[in-house]
Structure 1
Amino acid sequence: MALLKVSFLQMSKRCLLQCGICWKPLSKLSVHISPKMPPCDFIPERYESRPYNHILEIRKQNFSPLVSTYFQKPLLLHQGYMQWLFDNEGRRYLDLFSGIVTVSVGHCHPKVTTAAQKQLGRLWHSSPVFLHPAIHEYAEKLTALLPEPLKVIFFTNSGSEANDMAMLMARSYSQNADIISFRGAYHGSSPYTFGLTSVGTFKPKIANGSSCQTTMCPDVFRGPWGGNQCRDSLVQTIRKCDCTPGCCKANSQYIEEFKNTLHTVVAKEIAGFFAEPIQGVNGVVQYPRGFLKEAFQLVRERGGVCIADEVQTGFGRLGTHFWGFQSHEILPDIVTMAKGIANGFPMSAVVTTPEIASSFAKHVYHFNTFSGNPIAGVIGSAVLDAIKEDGLQENSQETGSYMLLKLAKLRDEFNIVGDVRGKGLMIGIEMVQDQDSRQPLPLKEINLIHEDCKDMGLILGRGGLFSQTFRIAPPMCITKQEADFAVEVFHSALSRHMEKRAKGKF
């Protein structure tokens, strides 16, 4: 033991971190050995900015009190490279959350970085009243990836702004007011989109987003109906299902609830219906197969338009298709996109049909000073190139499926893992008190598992109405070796947690 202690002390802390070993005093080492972190040939620069405590003080004094942070001791991030993040002390983390599902092709992806740097030396900003080749070339490239008649683009700067415009567009085209969204949906935090967003944490106490109504989310795990044949995923719920092939009883029951919404809480004619192909903030919630197709038809019968919110699901993340709506075999009237569109640069877009665009122009004069600036065009184009040239949609399908199936095995081992679900590199792990009750695992326990994963070098996201779901949406360049590491870390964290539970610590 003494020799072991000496050998640890002789190694540098930096060396230990690069090897993926969590450095701790020997007396505090657990019997559990942290999984070994995969190698990374990138060496971060030395952190030379303000000390951690100074940064924390600025945060407390000068930032909005509404902006919360992960972890008891928030991470001070310094540098990123592809799927890796480095903090101010040089510690390395595998990023499974991508800045909230935003870094699509990798932190500081060389192709995107080079393109941005080159444009920065030419022209940062003009405005939409001038022509610039970058944004026009990008518009041509992006619309080529969308089916007819989705060919007219309005550039904006954030997902909230894109959905805000889509709401206005739906109302001006239909000349109706009511818009429906799912409970558990997150579509933004602007005064308009607050009405669409249906997660209590984000709902303001003051009046907002009038003429917005919610309908039951067809959640086949937590909702009243669902079984083990319902969703478009390699992993189904553990709930029993007596559906026959081609006939999903849960889908039929959720459609009846949707019809009930149309009959009771909205006017006879409506403006539209917003849906994420897979709910993101609510914890990667998937609907029964065929639900959106039937819902879209019902909405159109009422004079409304159908909007697909692709802010988190688009750009190849789901693997099987470039856009999430394609996996539902539907064609929206309006598509909104942001986040992964520009790998972290503030950019978003609304794409619609010529008919809806023309109607919108008759009723609304829209102008945005920063929309479609030259840098946005160059970065957006470089992201599309990286997705294609690096085979990232294919990797999302292959590596995402690989990770999803490995994570699903944890559900068989740990009773607090209630559900594992998702497509491609958009995965949710819903934590419960036990699988029979499906009641959310208490927040205190969720936080401890989250912290333990971070301490072993793994950054996970959080979601769900009770923050009970771990969200996995890494940069799409992640490898199977790194997926193995992630699963091993999560397994280790769950094992440690269950030991504490067995000792009556909760």
Structure 2
Amino acid sequence: MNNYIGSAKIIEKKREFLFPCSHHFYKNPPQIVRGEMQYLFDSQGKQYLDFFAGVSVMNCGHCNPEILEASIAQMKTLQHTTTIYLNQPIVDLAEKLSHVLPGDIKHSFFCCTGSEANEGAILLARLYTGKNGIISLSNSLHGRTYLTMSATAIPMWRVDPALDTSVTIVPNVYSKDKPLDEAARDSLKEIEKVIQSKGADNFAALIIEPIQGNGGIITPPKWYFKELKTLLEKNKILMIVDEVQTGFARTGKMFAIENYDVVPDIITIAKALGNGMPISAFCANDEIASAFTKPSASTLGGNPVASSTSIAVLDYIEKNNLCEVAEKLGAKLKTGLLNLKEKHPLISDIRGLGLMLGAELLKENGEPASEETDLILEGLKDEGILLGKNGLGRNVLAFQPPLVITEDDVELVLSKLDKILCNL
């Protein structure tokens, strides 16, 4: 006998006890009560293939038994001390990360959320450079703290009416009216123009997502990051790469920036590192990390349970070759989506890398097909598939499943999506 209160009662309690900013997907949302690898189950026992993974969190699958074993074992021995006492899991995790982080990046400061990690990265850049200004790109999402919200350029997430003016937002690489390469070239020109007009001495760093997730799976061309890094180095401006959503094998590489053969100055990580356990970090090389000498700490960041869980996550990714899996299944999914694009005019673009793909939906007049997107999500949910959406118009279908899915899962999603598109 279960004690599930049901979807209607949960919505009622949300209205009474949570803030009204807390929204949910679907007109008829299920109450999710259980997870098992790539599957979720509702209070009625219905199984759903999860193709969103909690926005790229559950890369190793829900309630993965190998990872849970490490979490539970640590919970039974030592849950919490904070960093003022010595414990082994946090340093073991930092050491393990140093072997998978790009280039010469080896130092980590652990916290709990992606927002905290990005806030810390900006602080580190300011400490190292002695400069203040930050450059961010349109369509970006970097967090909900004051400074990271200021660096966020998606209007729906910029809720503070008095954001920090030290952040300058420039165009990203996307334009519905221009080819990708041309839009990317324009983006670099605008960044250079801002640096020249405001002065390089006023900018500590540029913060950028390798693929803009919430912004619509905006994926720069191969050459973009190398030219951007050259421009920033010329002006002594650091590059902060936000891998909160793109990290840990999702794009076919451990970190998405590795697809572009560039080593950032500072990298931020979160989400999939803990596979559901709250943990994040900002990371840098010896020289940049050495600038952070004044006392700082995170009460819960990198606690023994989160650290032990994250070590198990890294072990699982390596043991099961999840980078290769994401690359292989991502190619299969992308081919299938491109075929659907040829069949259904509503799909205007397919973009992304590995198992981080987006399908942009536009109406015949070029406007975002936001209502159709919601209908598709609702239809897929009824067929037992949970999919995400993003983009400024919330009109981009987001395919970001756990990396433990199978070829059959990919074929099922493509088949069900085709069926729903035919019936729109």
The within-5 A match list for 1:253-264 is 253-264=186-197
Deviations 1:143-197 (A, max 9, x none): 1112442111100100000000001111111111111111000000101101110
1:406 corresponds to which of 336, 359, 364: 336
Task: Specify whether residues 264 and 225 from structure 1 end up closer, same or farther in structure 2 by C-alpha distance, changes over 3 A only.
Answer: farther
Structure 1 residue 68, shift from structure 2 partner: 0.6
Q: 2:109: which partner in 1?
A: 154
2:161 aligned with 1:206: yes
Q: Is the 8 A contact 2:200 2:236 kept in 1?
A: no
* 3-state SS of 1:308 partner: strand
- 1:257 and 1:479 map into 2 onto residues whose CA distance is 42
Q: 1:285: which partner in 2?
A: 218
Structure 1 residue 277, shift from structure 2 partner: 0.7
Q: 1:55: which partner in 2?
A: 10
The within-5 A match list for 1:69-218 is 69-218=24-173
Q: Which amino acid aligns with 2:190?
A: E
List alignment gaps of at least 5 residues for structure 1: 1-45, 231-248, 498-506
- 1:252 and 1:198 map into 2 onto residues whose CA distance is 20
* 3-state SS of 1:398 partner: helix
Q: Scaled by the length of structure 2, what TM-score is found?
A: 0.96
Q: Is the 8 A contact 1:154 1:349 kept in 2?
A: yes
* 3-state SS of 1:349 partner: strand
Q: 1:318: which partner in 2?
A: 251
* 3-state SS of 1:255 partner: helix
Q: 2:235: which partner in 1?
A: 302
- 1:265 and 1:224 map into 2 onto residues whose CA distance is 28
- 1:99 and 1:409 map into 2 onto residues whose CA distance is 27
- 1:326 and 1:51 map into 2 onto residues whose CA distance is 44
* 3-state SS of 1:462 partner: strand
State which structure, 1 or 2, has the greater radius of gyration over its C-alpha atoms. Answer: 1
- 1:217 and 1:265 map into 2 onto residues whose CA distance is 19
2:260 aligned with 1:328: yes
- 2:127 and 2:165 map into 1 onto residues whose CA distance is 15
- 1:89 and 1:133 map into 2 onto residues whose CA distance is 43
Q: Is the 8 A contact 2:60 2:316 kept in 1?
A: yes
2:284 aligned with 1:352: yes
- 2:135 and 2:183 map into 1 onto residues whose CA distance is 20
Q: Is the 8 A contact 1:47 1:78 kept in 2?
A: no
Kindly, what percent of the aligned residue pairs are identical?
Answer: 32
- 2:44 and 2:26 map into 1 onto residues whose CA distance is 16
Q: Scaled by the length of structure 1, what TM-score is found?
A: 0.81
* 3-state SS of 1:360 partner: coil
Q: Is the 8 A contact 1:318 1:423 kept in 2?
A: yes
Deviations 1:456-480 (A, max 9, x none): 1111101000101010100000101
Q: Which amino acid aligns with 1:477?
A: V
Q: Which amino acid aligns with 2:373?
A: I
Q: Which amino acid aligns with 1:106?
A: G
The within-5 A match list for 1:437-456 is 438-441=366-369, 443-456=370-383
* 3-state SS of 1:155 partner: strand
- 2:64 and 2:44 map into 1 onto residues whose CA distance is 22
Q: Which amino acid aligns with 2:292?
A: F
- 2:260 and 2:158 map into 1 onto residues whose CA distance is 29
Q: Is the 8 A contact 1:178 1:266 kept in 2?
A: no
* 3-state SS of 1:359 partner: coil
> May I ask how many residue pairs the two structures share in their alignment?
424
Q: Which amino acid aligns with 1:371?
A: G
Q: Is the 8 A contact 1:178 1:211 kept in 2?
A: yes
Q: Which amino acid aligns with 2:306?
A: A
Structure 1 residue 117, shift from structure 2 partner: 1.1
Q: 2:313: which partner in 1?
A: 383
Q: Is the 8 A contact 1:98 1:473 kept in 2?
A: yes
1:225 corresponds to which of 178, 181, 190: 178
List alignment gaps of at least 5 residues for structure 2: none
Q: Is the 8 A contact 1:225 1:253 kept in 2?
A: no
2:421 aligned with 1:489: no
Structure 1 residue 251, shift from structure 2 partner: 4.1
Structure 1 residue 56, shift from structure 2 partner: 2.2
Task: Specify whether residues 210 and 252 from structure 1 end up closer, same or farther in structure 2 by C-alpha distance, changes over 3 A only.
Answer: closer
Deviations 1:85-137 (A, max 9, x none): 00111111110100111111000001011111111111111111112122211
Deviations 1:63-98 (A, max 9, x none): 111011000122210000000000111111110100
- 1:346 and 1:416 map into 2 onto residues whose CA distance is 37
- 1:253 and 1:216 map into 2 onto residues whose CA distance is 8
1:476 corresponds to which of 403, 407, 413: 403
